[in-house]
Amino acid sequence: MTQLSAAQTVQNRTSDGSKALYGGKGTRRITVRDIALAKERGEKWPMLTAYDAMTASVFDEAGIPVLLVGDSAGNCHLGYETTVPVTMDEMTMLSAAVVRGTQRALIVGDLPFGSYQEGPVQALRSATRLVKDAGVGAVKLEGGERSHEQIRLLVESGIPVMAHIGLTPQSVNAMGYRVQGRGEEAAQQLLRDAKAVQDAGAFAVVLELVPAELAAEVTRVLHIPTVGIGAGVECDAQVLVWTDMLGLTGGRVPKFVKKYGNLREVMGNAVKEFAEDVVGGAFPAEENSVH
Ligand code: KIV
């Protein structure tokens, strides 16, 4: 586990003496109950995507309490253009790796396109696979009112569900990548979607690309936490795609992304240095050789 400074430790203790989600020292896994308590305390928390064991272990050691094995793996890890082609086999393999690489974070596995749209029974079969074969603690699926029956059956079956409304990338062919919830009618629909997933038993809901004022209203109205991505500062939690926020993604990233690193440049420069050392005979040096 990460060593916290004294100041951080104080900051990460709450008034009732329990551990804050971010930076807490315990080694047991975060649960959905911990997430619910954080909302009661008014505590904000960070979430990142992860697609492999080694990267996930870095985020876990840094104290990120919730890691999402997002189907953004499609674009960010597997080389697809969208999330649409991602399969259950791929999500199961990636989720299992992230679970193996972590000790504390709650791991949420995304249900890919086509694995739950047929109905609740298909959703239960897919979610059960992620829980049993990969070991995730919760699953995520897209859709508000249209997915409430799936959410209800999973929750009744003992599988915690994170919902995802607003922009739902699996529907890119129908909705494109546009801000959702603009205008009175769309805002009312988003509120209905948020209430529907809460009523169905979701423990949290991702709000993607939603006007900040509307996301703030949803956050006030719901008793489950909202996880914003391009949804303003009032959400209870914030999630970013890790390759975007650490600057590994090539090309343009969405406006709502803040870059906290430039891994593409760092890695590119290191790899070029290695290549030049090999070509010039500087690697391996004597200390890198065995005799
Ligand atoms: O797949 C994903 O990474 C997501 C996040 C953007 C919320 O759904």
Asked about 273 being catalytic, the answer comes back as no
**In tens digits, what is the pLDDT along the chain, a chain of 291 residues?**
344 444 444 445 554 445 799 976 677 999 999 999 999 999 999 999 999 999 999 999 999 999 999 999 999 999 999 999 999 999 999 999 999 999 999 999 999 999 999 999 999 999 999 999 999 999 999 999 999 999 999 999 999 999 999 999 999 888 888 888 898 999 999 999 999 999 999 999 999 999 999 999 999 999 999 999 999 999 999 999 999 999 999 999 999 999 999 999 999 999 999 999 999 999 999 999 999
Please answer whether residues 224 and 196 qualify as being in contact, where contact means their C-beta atoms are separated by less than 8 angstroms.
no
Q: Is the CB of 86 under 6 A from ligand 1?
A: no
Please answer whether residues 192 and 213 qualify as being in contact, where contact means their C-beta atoms are separated by less than 8 angstroms.
no
Cα 132 from Cα 129, distance rounded (Å): 5
Residues whose CB falls within 8 Å of the CB of residue 121, separated by 6 or more in sequence, listed in order: 153
pLDDT of the residue at 13: 52
Q: Is the CB of 241 under 6 A from ligand 1?
A: yes
**8 C-alpha to ligand 1 centroid (Å):** 29
Which protein residue has the closest C-alpha to ligand 1 atom 4?
A: 70
Whether the CA torsion 81, 116, 162, 87 is positive or negative: it is negative
Place of tokens 């807490």: 24
Residue 193 labeled ligand binder: no
Q: Which tokens go with 126?
A: 């897919």
Residue 72 labeled ligand binder: yes
Residue 156 labeled ligand binder: no
pLDDT of the residue at 284: 97
pLDDT of the residue at 176: 81
Amino acid at the residue 257? V
Q: How far is CA 156 from CA 49, 84, 122, 139, 204, in A?
A: 26, 28, 15, 14, 16
Cα 110 from Cα 78, distance rounded (Å): 15
Which protein residue has the closest C-alpha to ligand 1 atom 2?
A: 70
Which protein residue has the closest C-alpha to ligand 1 atom 6?
A: 241
Residue 199 labeled ligand binder: no
pLDDT of the residue at 179: 84
**239 C-alpha to ligand 1 centroid (Å):** 8
For strands 45-49 and 237-240, give the pairing.
parallel
Atom number of ligand 1 nearest to Cα 140: 8
